[in-house]
Amino acid sequence: MTFHNSPAQTLDKYADQLYLGMLSLHPDTSINEFLVKYVPVVFKKFDSNMKWTVYPKVSIKEPEYYKVTNSYIFNKHPYFNGHFKSGQLAITQKIYSEKKWSDITDIELWFEFDTKDDARKSFSQLVDTFSSFNVLKRITSQQGIDKVEFTDKNCDKYYSNIQIILATDYSLGKTYIMPTKNGTKTITKAGYKILVEIGNNLY
């Protein structure tokens, strides 16, 4: 995956780049193979010449479906060169019994780290980049979770308000078995995660 040293000039464009183009539904070519296999609806073309007919209001019953989440896992990102162990772009969609129906219900993005230092540096890098867009900003820290919210009031896209969260996650850490006089002792080292989420309470 090639790193593109050409940062976006607005909050929404950089957020979309971090999400590898999935927010605007113009995916980066680096994830095309993954999307073709697991989320082909992204490439579905709709007939632009279709004519609409107005019918009396009736309730449309949603067909049966089940939800599935597929994750694109990466260790390099084309628009973010922070020192992370791995990253995930998780896409949740409804799979319907009727093929003409389709619905992507959620998209999540996060980065995972082995060390607090790497996580802190990458968190600061993301915060500095979004801060450069001259947008509303709010910083909070509570119970070991750092959060920075950004909102561009001059943009009407749904992803023009985001939040970046740095949290400790022991499920990502490493576990060691240490010998002691009475046997062994289990030590779990913390891991760290940065979440880039769409939406916040900063208006």
Count Cβ neighbours within 10 Å for each residue of 2-30 and write b for 16 or more, e otherwise: eeeeeeeebbbbbbbbbbbbbbeeebbeb
Q: Are 162 and 149 in contact (CB under 8 A)?
A: yes
pLDDT at 1 (0 to 100) = 61
pLDDT at 30 (0 to 100) = 95
Residue 122 DSSP class: H
pLDDT at 61 (0 to 100) = 85
Cα distances (Å, whole numbers) of residue 104 to 26, 159, 172, 179: 14, 15, 27, 49
Domain boundaries, the chain: 11-43+62-198
Q: Is the dihedral of CA 95, 39, 163, 9 positive or negative?
A: negative
pLDDT at 58 (0 to 100) = 64
C-alpha to C-alpha distance for 14 and 130, rounded to whole angstroms: 8
- Tell me the average confidence (pLDDT) per consecutive run of 10 residues in the chain, 203 residues long: 69 97 95 95 67 60 92 96 97 90 93 96 97 96 94 96 95 78 80 97 91
Q: Is the dihedral of CA 111, 113, 116, 117 positive or negative?
A: negative
Interacting residues of 162 by C-beta distance below 8 A, sequence separation 6+: 11, 15, 130, 149, 150, 196, 197, 198, 199, 200
pLDDT at 54 (0 to 100) = 55
User: Which run of H or E residues covers position 17?
Assistant: helix 11-18
pLDDT at 108 (0 to 100) = 98
**Model confidence, pTM:** 0.85
Q: What SS3 state is found at 119?
A: helix
pLDDT at 143 (0 to 100) = 87
Query: Which residue shows structure tokens 């709709």?
Result: 46
CB-count burial class (<10 Å; 0-12, 13-18, 19+) for 186: exposed
Q: Are 162 and 15 in contact (CB under 8 A)?
A: yes
